[in-house]
């Protein structure tokens, strides 16, 4: 389809065209159809809860829980601010708009994942409507069926399930919406000449960028749109492009003035390309990623929540599939360049796809996870345009026809149904996997044997669930089957990547806390320290295991090593103090507890410890002083309150005895 011959300068899209059997339906009907289709596809996500990474932006997020009061903090802090798996700190990213929407929701509706999912589906429906508006405006002389079918196929593509069904990925929806709105205003500027539209376009683009910076690709896409679909003068195209570039620079640089240092250490199991591979391996792995993306566009199975090492192995130029990918993409590029001067739709579709997938190829930059389905969200629009163009050609229908014969329209609809119905069924089915974290992980694990981190994520979350059930009183034999699943997946993670300290450490925790097999736990904790000699948590776990198995002489060096690496690890300090006291090193025990008081003055544990030491040394008055201070800090300590009331009852101080008895009753039950 030669766009050069069908565009009309400054001509608005006509509201109606003749079809084969009469007039085109009112435009609002198309909007309703698009919105209804989006809700048919994703309506079943509304009953879902929180899933992977949602805690970054909404689930139990301490910032978002503040509601509207959180918005200034959201706009003046990093997007991610959490403790990393290995005890470090993650502070990175600046995506305040997406996060702010959850704070607004929390203000008025409380914690409500179902409404949040509804908003995601609504945003997806709005994307479809806006996309339809833009395609009609750009393809003015093309039959309305063309943009309509393009939108339907785009909405139905199962690759988008990660974007819509995951609340955290609302950032992707808002980012693309911002880019589309910006394009809409820039086109209005072209039609009306009103400069205010450039301002609105820049504002929309800025909001999109502050949702997620993926739309940086539109710095190239928007000039392409004007080249292919309008006769806008180069100077005005440069003006619009310069405006976009300016807002991108502002959105990228200003936050750096007040955000401080960004820390986002990438692990080998996320993407090995961060760790000094050869250029040939970067090229080879990048081309394998591009081949993966093409395959997923045509055959989106299996869909999984995470990839990473070793789902897309690092490979060089000797791999035949690398050359298959190179040939395919050179062929695509050849077609795009060959048809570029003709302003052909296929050229635009191919370039749109290549521009938008380029940042995620590992050739330019290396994304965490190596590849991801969400990386194809915007890029897939180019694929859908080319697919619908192919449908028109296969059915012998010219996209430029003002009328379509009934038999050809029927064939077009049949062809679309053959593509969209299976895609829709897969999308609707896939949404149920996103019900909650453990459901998602369990559904995907059969396809993730080679992903070290995916196995680790599933096993870690299942381990947490098992430990919580044990604490709630569930018998050990009832949780054992899930514990064995944990073990299987932790071992699979270490089989994929043997130098995985977190997996070794968590495996040890399952054997210790769930199965009560300390000897096995010790073996795995030692593996964790072998693979990472500076892994504080593993040394602490070794010390704790030796301590609970009554081996203080082995526990003390492990705790001391943990404190050497992390001097203010309170649990290690407290446990080590107990061991010092037990082995007759009272001065060291007292000193450690006094250090804890300096570090955490509101903690009751060191006062309880010091009181216990004083009592053993025959200093009851000093012990009482410490114990009463501990109760002052934590009035809910049932056992300590009962001990104090018993003591004061014995010495005849009924007033203080009644006071501590009352505190004990208020606490309700002994501390677990």
Q: Does residue 665 register a pLDDT over 60?
A: yes
Q: How confident is the model at residue 81 (pLDDT cuts 50, 70, 90)?
A: confident
For a pLDDT cut of 70, what percent of the chain falls above it?
Answer: 94
- Provide mean pLDDT across the span 655-672: 81
- Provide mean pLDDT across the span 14-18: 44
What is the pLDDT, as a whole number, of residue 365?
A: 87
Biggest CA–CA distance in the chain, Å, is 104
What is the pLDDT, as a whole number, of residue 401?
A: 79
Is residue 498 within 8 Å of 531, Cβ to Cβ? yes
What is the pLDDT, as a whole number, of residue 656?
A: 93
Query: Comparing C-alpha atoms, which of 394, 299, 382 is closest to residue 336?
Result: 382
What is the pLDDT, as a whole number, of residue 18?
A: 44
Q: Does residue 85 register a pLDDT over 80?
A: no
Judging by DSSP bridges, how do beta strands 18-19 and 80-83 pair with one another? Answer: unpaired
Q: Does residue 269 register a pLDDT over 50?
A: yes
What is the pLDDT, as a whole number, of residue 315?
A: 97
Residue 2 vs residue 503, higher pLDDT:
503
Lowest mean pLDDT segment, chosen from 169-178, 544-553, 635-644: 635-644
- Provide mean pLDDT across the span 530-534: 97
Alpha-carbon distance 367 to 212, whole Å?
A: 14
Q: Does residue 167 register a pLDDT over 80?
A: yes
Residue 346 Cα distances to 93, 153, 180, 224, 417, angstroms: 35, 17, 20, 13, 22
Say whether the peptide bond before residue 209 is cis (omega within 30 degrees of 0).
no
Q: How confident is the model at residue 23 (pLDDT cuts 50, 70, 90)?
A: low
Q: Residue 69: how many CB atoms within 10 A of its CB?
A: 11
Query: Comparing C-alpha atoms, which of 144, 138, 126, 127 is closest to residue 191?
Result: 138
> How do the domains of the chain map onto residue ranges?
3-430, 451-566
Copy the structure tokens of residue 261: 């240092």
Can you say how many angstroms the Cα of residue 527 is from the centroid of all Cα atoms in its chain? 29
Copy the structure tokens of residue 448: 């993730």
Mean pLDDT taken over the chain: 92
Is residue 70 within 8 Å of 22, Cβ to Cβ? no
C-alpha torsion sign, points 69, 71, 74, 77: negative
- Provide mean pLDDT across the span 271-295: 96
Alpha-carbon distance 528 to 532, whole Å?
A: 6
Q: How confident is the model at residue 527 (pLDDT cuts 50, 70, 90)?
A: very high
Lowest mean pLDDT segment, chosen from 28-42, 82-96, 482-496: 82-96
What is the pLDDT, as a whole number, of residue 34?
A: 98
For 81, counting Cβ atoms within 10 Å of its Cβ (0-12 exposed, 13-18 middle, 19+ buried), the class is middle
What is the pLDDT, as a whole number, of residue 16?
A: 44
Residue 79 is given by DSSP the state S
Q: Does residue 55 register a pLDDT over 80?
A: yes
- Provide mean pLDDT across the span 616-641: 92
What is the pLDDT, as a whole number, of residue 83?
A: 57
Residue 6 vs residue 285, higher pLDDT:
285
Residue 213 is given by DSSP the state G
Can you say how many angstroms the Cα of residue 561 is from the centroid of all Cα atoms in its chain? 34
Query: Could you tell me which CATH number the domain at 451-566 has?
Result: 1.25.40.10
Please tell me whether residue 87 adopts helix, strand or coil conformation: coil
Judging by DSSP bridges, how do beta strands 80-83 and 89-92 pair with one another? Answer: antiparallel
Alpha-carbon distance 161 to 300, whole Å?
A: 11
Specify whether the backbone of 500 is left (phi greater than 0), alpha (psi in -120 to 50) or beta.
Answer: beta
Q: How confident is the model at residue 7 (pLDDT cuts 50, 70, 90)?
A: very low
Judging by DSSP bridges, how do beta strands 80-83 and 22-23 pair with one another? Answer: unpaired
Residue 90 is given by DSSP the state E
What is the pLDDT, as a whole number, of residue 593?
A: 95
Residue 616 vs residue 599, higher pLDDT:
599
For a pLDDT cut of 90, what percent of the chain falls above it?
Answer: 85
Q: Does residue 9 register a pLDDT over 60?
A: no
Convert the pLDDT of each residue in 333-380 to its tens digit.
Answer: 999 999 999 999 999 999 999 999 999 999 988 899 999 999 999 999
Residue 93 vs residue 303, higher pLDDT:
303
What is the pLDDT, as a whole number, of residue 87?
A: 42
Convert the pLDDT of each residue in 402-435 to its tens digit.
Answer: 788 899 999 999 999 999 999 999 999 999 999 9
């Amino acid at each position: 389809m030669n766009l050069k011959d069908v565009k009309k300068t400054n001509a608005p899209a006509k509201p109606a065209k003749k079809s084969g059997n009469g007039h085109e339906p009112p435009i609002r009907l198309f909007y309703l159809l698009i919105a209804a289709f989006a809700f048919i596809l994703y309506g079943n996500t509304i009953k879902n809860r929180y899933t992977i990474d949602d805690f970054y932006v909404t689930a139990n997020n301490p910032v978002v829980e503040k509601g509207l009061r959180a918005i200034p903090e959201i706009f003046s802090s990093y997007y991610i601010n959490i403790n990393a798996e290995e005890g470090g700190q993650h502070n990175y990213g600046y995506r305040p708009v997406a996060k702010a929407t959850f704070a607004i929701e929390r203000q008025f509706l409380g914690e409500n994942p179902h409404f949040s999912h509804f908003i995601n589906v609504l945003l997806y429906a709005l994307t479809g409507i806006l996309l339809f508006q833009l395609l009609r405006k750009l393809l003015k002389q093309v039959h309305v069926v063309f943009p309509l079918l393009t939108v339907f196929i785009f909405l139905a593509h199962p690759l988008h399930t990660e974007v819509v069904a995951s609340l955290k990925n609302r950032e992707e929806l808002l980012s693309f919406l911002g880019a589309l709105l910006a394009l809409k205003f820039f086109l209005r500027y072209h039609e009306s000449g009103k400069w205010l539209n450039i301002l609105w376009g820049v504002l929309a683009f800025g909001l999109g960028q502050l949702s997620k910076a993926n739309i940086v690709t539109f710095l190239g896409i928007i000039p392409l749109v004007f080249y292919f679909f309008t006769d806008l003068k180069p100077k005005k195209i440069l003006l619009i492009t310069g405006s976009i570039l300016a807002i991108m620079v502002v959105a990228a640089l200003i936050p750096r003035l007040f955000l401080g240092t960004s820390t986002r250490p990438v692990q080998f199991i996320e993407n090995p390309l961060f760790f000094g591979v050869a250029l040939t391996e970067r090229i080879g792995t990048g081309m394998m990623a591009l081949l993966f993306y093409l395959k997923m566009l045509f055959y989106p199975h299996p869909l999984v929540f995470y990839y990473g090492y070793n789902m897309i192995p690092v490979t060089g130029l000797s791999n035949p599939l690398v050359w298959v990918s190179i040939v395919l993409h050179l062929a695509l590029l050849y077609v795009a360049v060959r048809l570029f001067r003709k302003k052909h739709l296929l050229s635009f579709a191919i370039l749109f796809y290549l521009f938008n997938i380029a940042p995620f190829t590992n050739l330019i930059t290396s994304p965490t996870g190596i590849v991801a389905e969400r990386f194809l969200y915007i890029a897939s629009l180019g694929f859908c345009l080319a697919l619908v163009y192919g449908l028109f050609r296969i059915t012998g229908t010219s996209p430029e026809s003002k009328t379509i014969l009934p038999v050809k329209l029927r064939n077009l609809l049949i062809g679309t149904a053959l593509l969209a119905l299976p895609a829709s069924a897969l999308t609707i089915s896939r949404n149920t996997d996103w019900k909650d974290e453990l459901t998602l992980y369990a559904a995907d694990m059969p396809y993730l044997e080679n992903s070290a981190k995916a196995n680790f994520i599933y096993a870690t979350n299942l381990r947490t669930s098992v430990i919580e059930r044990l604490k709630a009183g569930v018998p050990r034999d009832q949780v054992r089957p899930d514990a064995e699943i944990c073990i299987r997946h932790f071992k699979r993670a270490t089989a994929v990547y043997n130098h995985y300290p977190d997996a070794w450490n968590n495996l040890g925790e399952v054997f210790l806390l769930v199965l009560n097999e300390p000897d096995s736990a010790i073996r795995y904790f030692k593996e964790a320290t072998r693979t990472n000699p500076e892994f504080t948590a593993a040394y602490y776990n070794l010390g704790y295991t030796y301590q609970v198995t009554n081996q203080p002489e082995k526990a003390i060096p492990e705790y001391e090593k943990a404190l050497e690496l992390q001097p203010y690890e309170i649990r290690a300090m407290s446990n080590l103090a107990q061991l010092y006291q037990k082995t007759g090193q009272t001065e060291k025990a007292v000193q450690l507890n006094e250090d804890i008081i300096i570090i955490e003055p509101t903690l009751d544990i060191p006062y309880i410890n010091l009181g216990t030491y004083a009592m053993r040394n025959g200093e009851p008055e000093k012990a009482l002083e410490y114990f009463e201070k501990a109760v002052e800090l934590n009035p809910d300590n049932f056992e300590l309150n009962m001990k104090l009331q018993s003591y004061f009852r014995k010495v005849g101080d009924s007033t203080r005895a009644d006071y501590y008895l009352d505190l004990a009753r208020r606490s309700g039950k002994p501390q677990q």
